[in-house]
A and B are shown apart, each in its own frame.
Chain A
Amino acid sequence: MTGVTLKNIKKSYGKTDVLFGIDLQIELGEFVVFVGPSGCGKSTLLRMIAGLEDITDGELYIEDVLVNDIPSAMRGIAMVFQTYALYPHMTVYDNMAFAMRIAKENKAKIDERVNAAADMLQLKPYLDRLPKALSGGQRQRVAIGRAIVRNPKVFLFDEPLSNLDAALRVQTRIEIANLKETLKDTTMIYVTHDQVEAMTLADRIVVLAAGKIEQVGTPLELYTKPANLFVAKFIGSPAMNIFKADVVKTGGNTCIKTKNGHQFDIPVKSLAGLNNQEISVGVRPEDFYLSDQESCLLSGEVAFVESLGEVTLLHLAYHEKENPVVVKIPGIVNKHKGDIVYLQAEQDKVHLFDPQGISLLYL
């Protein structure tokens, strides 16, 4: 049995297509995060799973039951909204009991479940309060509690942390992580545009862009083996450096030559078709280290230094002006504006992308 299965799910508003055939299988009890820039369709996809948006085409299964035409109340889902969406005229208790009262459950059972959820989220002292007497973090906990009480098969989070301030965000993120441990059998789908949330919470991340899935994988897979330029740039902060290089030798090892004349060998063999072509090279800021003129991948003049103590960020004026290179070096580095630095990276930390932006190394 799978948790949620999406088969060629499409969505269009009138003639505007928003989602172009999403295929995805989410295992039972898995925590999956949809991440992507705003407007990529991730919230729409979540709302379709919730039953708040019609499915234009394709099939949606929740625990192997086709739910395309089943109203959201019957799908066995619970949703936590970005804006909490608490019922403002009801107390915390009533908010959490609402769904069960609608379902005409008996009082004792409601009481038991609400109290259990309130315990789990430390909401016990606030059960008699109205939402307006709560802080933002407490409100979001009530919203989560309201979802827990329903005992859903699938838990949906729609950017639940984006209305909270930074400190609360970290705290609530930890609570959601704990929740994931507590409710092991519940499938959870979480939408966010914040890659830190995605990386820390997810079992698997689904990166969406412009209505398509770019890559699905565990957080570390996405980080170490991005399948294309979009994922490479989207995951990681500061973003991966991308610069152009020419393939100068194929067969055996591949050799590339960067625009300022340095050559670099990579142990990949199957790039014959790309001989003498221009490709994109990606290196994460933290994968560069300082080297000397004889052995380096890139060189450039320091344009700007950010000394943060634990790390130093060097911004280099590389000859692609619109595309400066950022280097992240641990500790304090004695470099100043105007210094020339030489950068080197390990072979397995260098990513190659063909002119279409598809990774040449990981597929």
Chain B
Amino acid sequence: MANKTAMPGKQSGKVISGLNKLRRSPLIILVHLSVLLLVILWTFPTAGLLISSFRDKEQLAISGWWTALASSEQNLITRTAPPNQQQLIDGVYLLEGTIEDIEKTDGILRFGWTSREPEAYQAGTTAEMGNDGTLMVDSSGNYQMTSVDPFTGSRGKRIFYTALTPPAFSLDNYIEVLGSEGIGQSFLNSLTVTIPATIIPILIAAYAAYALSWMKLPGRSLLIAMVVGLLVVPLQMSLIPLLQLYNVIGNFFGVSAKTYLGIWLAHTGFGLPLAIYLLRNYISGLPKEIIESARVDGATDFDIFMKIILPLSFPALASFAIFQFLWVWNDLLVATVFLGNGESELVLTGRLRELLGSRGGNWEILTASAFISIAVPLTVFFTLQRYLVRGLLTGSVK
């Protein structure tokens, strides 16, 4: 409509049609707003987690991640030079020098000489201590402490000061959790569990889905109904009987109770109903003519499966792979039951739970660990989502 009118009209035409669109669909606006809300709800905490995990642990302990880019005030303690460096000037003993570590801060704001009032004096002023002593600290960290009596003892006197520290980001937290906290090993353990536990059910389910869609066998619909029925069996209910069964069979073959094989099989079992259901729905929706045509061309069922069905089912395979990968990666329950607690077996979720208990106050460790654990699912999703394209069948029929 807008194309037919001349240039000036074109603009207004566009605006009008835009307005019409708005007026026509308040629902669309609602949908967009809800999507926006959901996106914010999900990305905000994730961003916070990411930023926190890179922050310095001292700063992290006292301020929120949203202040990460601003300098923060930090209460610190230092000591003066030891008494043996005191000088006697005009009958007053003097200790002077510069606060160590001052170059790491943006200057000193306030100071104090007792732990009861660590921020009592502004930088640059002189504080009266007891016994006619004084303490002066300026904002660049130079201090002078005087006393009528000589300073005694082997250590310097304490100075409490509040300094402005610049934002600090580093990979230290990651290095720490990956190494000394054992997240690195658990990460590998989780991968060892997850990758086979994703691939095995896909392979089995794809075969099953093909057979249940395109091969004539007696009781096919009953089988499908059973598979769908299995979707409702809660995992928690079947967990212990399954473990017992596995142990009995494992004993017979001399396989110990908690092994990777066990957890692969468990995840496969729990994932199969959904996998078969999803894939069957997709595969049975492929055009019948393609399969018949392949059959006329001399392809066996196996040929058809490998050369026609699998390539065409990539979107379904990818979406199930994402599902299964996320579910297995984030799983704690099945791993707790079917896998041991040793260093070489503890999965990431288990390790996070342990850290939460033992290092619950150390935000730098928790945030970094958490981010490591969500990084993999994110990568998997972003790599596979490009296969979730529509229109894979274009050009085949019609």
Is B293 interfacial (CB 8 A cutoff)? yes
Q: Given the complex of chains A and B, what is the CA–CA distance between A37 and B231 in angstroms?
A: 46
**Is the CB–CB distance between A52 and B295 below 8 Å?**
yes
**Residues of chain A from 98 to 140 with CB closer than 8 A to chain B in the complex:** 98-99, 102-103, 130-134, 136, 139
A98 to B295, CA, bound (A): 11
Q: Mark B93-109, 1 if CB is under 8 A from A, else 0.
A: 00000000000000000
Q: Does B249 make an interface contact (CB < 8 A)?
A: no
- Specify the chain A residue showing the minimal Cβ separation from B216: A54
CB-based nearest B residue for A152: B296
User: Are B312 and A85 in contact (CB-based, < 8 A)?
Assistant: no
Partner of A98, one of B294, B392, B394: B294
Which has the most chain A C-beta neighbours within 10 Å: B297, B299, B307, B393?
B297
Does A150 have its Cβ within 8 Å of any Cβ on chain B? yes
The answer to whether B296 and A88 touch across the interface, beta carbons within 8 angstroms, is no
- Bitwise, B214-249 to A at CB < 8 A (1) or not (0) is 000000000000000000000000000000000000
Q: Which residue of B lies closest to A74 (CB)?
A: B298
**A-chain residues with CB within 8 Å of residue B299 when the two chains form the complex:** 73, 98, 102
- A interface, how many residues as a size bin? 20 to 34
Identify which of B289, B294, B395 contacts A132 (C-beta below 8 A). Answer: B395
Q: Is A312 an interface residue (CB 8 A)?
A: no
Shortest C-beta distance, B307 to chain A (Å), equals 8
B397–A85 contact, CB under 8 A?
A: yes
* Interface bracket on B: 20 to 34
Partner of B289, one of A85, A98, A99: A85
Residues of B within 8 A of A40 (CB): none
Contacts of A103 in B (CB 8 A): 298
Query: Which residues on the B side are within 8 Å of A86 (C-beta)?
Result: 290, 395-397
Chain A 47-73 against B: per-residue CB contact (8 Å), 1 yes, 0 no?
A: 000111000000000000000000111
B58 at the interface (CB under 8 A from A): no
Contact of B308 with A50 in the complex, beta carbons under 8 Å: no
B290 touches A85 (CB 8 A): yes
- CA separation between A133 and B394, bound complex, in Å? 9
Q: A243 in the interface, Cβ–Cβ < 8 Å? A: no
- In the complex, what's the smallest C-beta–C-beta distance from A144 to chain B, in angstroms? 12
Contact B392 A89 (CB under 8 A): yes
Q: B398 in the interface, Cβ–Cβ < 8 Å?
A: yes
In the complex, the answer to whether A102 meets B396 with C-beta atoms within 8 Å is: no
Which residues in B have their C-beta under 8 angstroms from that of A87? 290, 293-294, 307-308, 396
Flag whether A222 is at the interface (Cβ < 8 A): no
B293 touches which of A51, A79, A139 (Cβ 8 Å): A79
B296 and A52: CB pair below 8 A? yes
Pair B289/A73 contact, Cβ less than 8 Å: no
Q: Are B296 and A83 in contact, CB atoms less than 8 angstroms apart?
A: no
286-328 of chain B: CB within 8 A of chain A = 287, 289-290, 292-299, 303, 307-308, 311-312
Decide: B394 and A88 in contact? CB cutoff 8 A.
yes
CA A202 to CA B262, docked complex, whole Å: 66
Give complex CA distance A130, B395 in Å.
8
Determine the distance from Cα of A71 to Cα of B295 in the docked complex, in whole angstroms: 9
Which residues from 79 to 98 on chain A have a C-beta closer than 8 Å to any C-beta of chain B? 79, 81-89, 98
Chain A, residue nearest B312 (CB): A89
Instruction: Provide a sorted-by-A list of 11 A–B residue pairs whose CB atoms are within 8 angstroms.
Output: A74-B298, A81-B293, A83-B398, A85-B292, A88-B290, A88-B392, A88-B396, A89-B312, A98-B297, A98-B307, A150-B297
Question: Lowest 7 CB-CB distances: which A-B pairs, in order?
Answer: A132-B395, A131-B395, A85-B289, A73-B298, A88-B396, A83-B397, A99-B297
Known interface pairs A85-B290, A87-B293, A87-B307; 15 further A-B residue pairs with C-beta atoms within 8 A, sorted by A's residue number: A51-B296, A72-B295, A73-B299, A79-B293, A82-B289, A83-B289, A83-B397, A85-B396, A86-B396, A88-B290, A88-B312, A98-B307, A99-B298, A130-B395, A133-B395
Residues of chain A touching chain B, judged by Cβ–Cβ distance below 8 Å, are: 50-52, 71-74, 77-79, 81-89, 98-99, 102-103, 130-134, 136, 139, 146, 150, 163
B→A interface (CB under 8 Å): 287, 289-290, 292-299, 303, 307-308, 311-312, 391-398
